[in-house]
Structure 1
Amino acid sequence: MEVKIGVQHAPREISIESAQTAEEVEKAVADALSGTAALLTLEDEHGRKVIIPADRLAYIEIGEPATRRVGFGAAL
């Protein structure tokens, strides 16, 4: 699923493809914003972690899970 993260004072948003569910991402964001965690930590599909200070978050956009199409019919 695609997750877009807006960071204060940064000209571009951070966009990652995450294997985490929408509920897991929401819980991580809620924990960061409530003060339970000082950092928002998300993991992409390749196991790389993105760590952002919670006080710098501007917005989070959680997309729908992406289905991967394989083969010649992928362009349909």
Structure 2
Amino acid sequence: MEVKIGVQHAPREIVMESKQTPDEVESTVAAALEKGTGMLSLTDEHGRRVLVPADRVAYVEIGEASGRKVGFGAI
């Protein structure tokens, strides 16, 4: 599943693929935002952790996994 995290004062969003379910990601984000001073911690599909200060999170978009595009075919 694809997760996009917008960070305040950052020109680009963080995009990652996660093995967690949408409900698990949502509850993790909600718990981090309730604290306000903690860190949002998510793990990607390769086991790497992404840490974002909770007070800097602008938005979190939870979506379906995107297939990898290969080649130069028409879109």
| Structure 1 residue aligned with 2:40 | 40
C-alpha separation between the residues in 2 aligned to 1:37 and 1:28? 14
Could you tell me which amino acid in structure 2 is paired with residue 43 of structure 1? T
What are structure 1's unaligned runs of at least 5 residues?
Answer: 69-76
Letter paired with 1:51:
L
Distance 1:67 1:21, change over 3 A: farther
**Corresponding residue pairs, total:** 68
Aligned to 2:51: 51
Which stretches of structure 1, 4 residues or longer, exceed 3 Å deviation after superposition? 65-68
Matched, 1:5 2:5: yes
TM-score of the superposition, structure 1-length normalised?
A: 0.81
Aligned-residue offset at 1:39: 0.7
Aligned-CA RMSD value: 1.9
| Residue 26 (structure 2) aligns with | 26
TM-score (norm 2): 0.82
> Structure 2: which 5+ residue stretches go unaligned?
69-75
Provide the C-alpha distance between the structure 1 equivalents of 2:57 and 2:67, rounded to a whole number of angstroms: 28
Q: CA deviation at 1:30?
A: 0.4
